[in-house]
Structure 1
């Protein structure tokens, strides 16, 4: 409940801070609200008020942000995500009891307990064209067999 109240206050303070910053006189004076000689406030007085208000709202914003962080951290506790997983209760013998089945239509190996054949990387070849060594010729590509004609 307190966290929600502080969050609403943080949003209100941030909106007020945005409004006060936009009301201040910019370097070019485009958004400034300084009064002229006929205004109810002088330009210096309006600048001092807006500057002071900006400092107060900025300080409130940071204090509320720190308070929200501290309170939410205490509500969650000091445990990490890994501590909450309860890994000690997992029995490693039951993890791979039912291995995933391959999709239907794929060829099953003759011996399901046999390990798959390891992949063999091609032998690297190094050639230096500056020493007159020729680049190895790539193996010719065998054309694929034509597709069978559709039955009519």
Structure 2
């Protein structure tokens, strides 16, 4: 339940963060180059409402991401990757099924994976009747 609430909140925060970023005024230049001293780090730029909203939404986004990570791992808190009871077993949906050892394959004569050149030559019609090019 908490995970669903955090996921919906994260989606809403992501959409609003994208909107707030797109509403901000461009300061000229590409990739942050140029713009002069009236950039992000000045008092006037930091006092801007859109700048404050962007930073608040960014902090909320990261907090939601951390909350989703924590709530996603709460159900696995007491389990280990290498559990002594699960060695040699496969965990399927919380149940463990022991794996039977594989039966040895019946002995078959070794066959090549692909036909050899001799097999290819034997399958071609004889070249005696065709003129050379």
Report the TM-score when normalising by structure 2: 0.55
Aligned to 2:10: 10
Aligned CA RMSD, in angstroms, stands at 3.5
Which has the greater radius of gyration? 1
Aligned to 1:138: none
Distance 1:50 1:24 in 2: 7
Distance 2:98 2:104 in 1: 16
After superposing on structure 2, the runs of 4+ consecutive aligned residues of structure 1 that deviate more than 6 Å are 89-92
How many residue pairs match? The answer is 96
1:83 equivalent to 2:89? Answer: no
Aligned to 2:106: 101
Map Cα deviations across residues 91-143 of structure 1 (whole Å, 9 max, x no partner): 89x625x21236xxx527xxxxxxxxxxxxxxxxxxxxxxxxxxxxxxxxxx8
Greater relative contact order (CA < 8 Å, ≥ 6 in sequence): 2
* Correspondences of 1:3-152 after superposition (within 5 Å): 3-28=3-28, 48-83=48-83, 86-87=86-87, 95-96=101-102, 98-101=103-106, 107=109, 144=118, 146-148=121-123
State the SS of the aligned residue for 2:104. Answer: coil
State the SS of the aligned residue for 1:147. Answer: helix
Q: 1:149 to 1:56 in 2, by over 3 A?
A: closer
State the SS of the aligned residue for 1:82. Answer: coil
Q: 1:62 to 1:87 in 2, by over 3 A?
A: same
Report the TM-score when normalising by structure 1: 0.49
Identify, as 1 or 2, the structure richer in strand.
Answer: 2
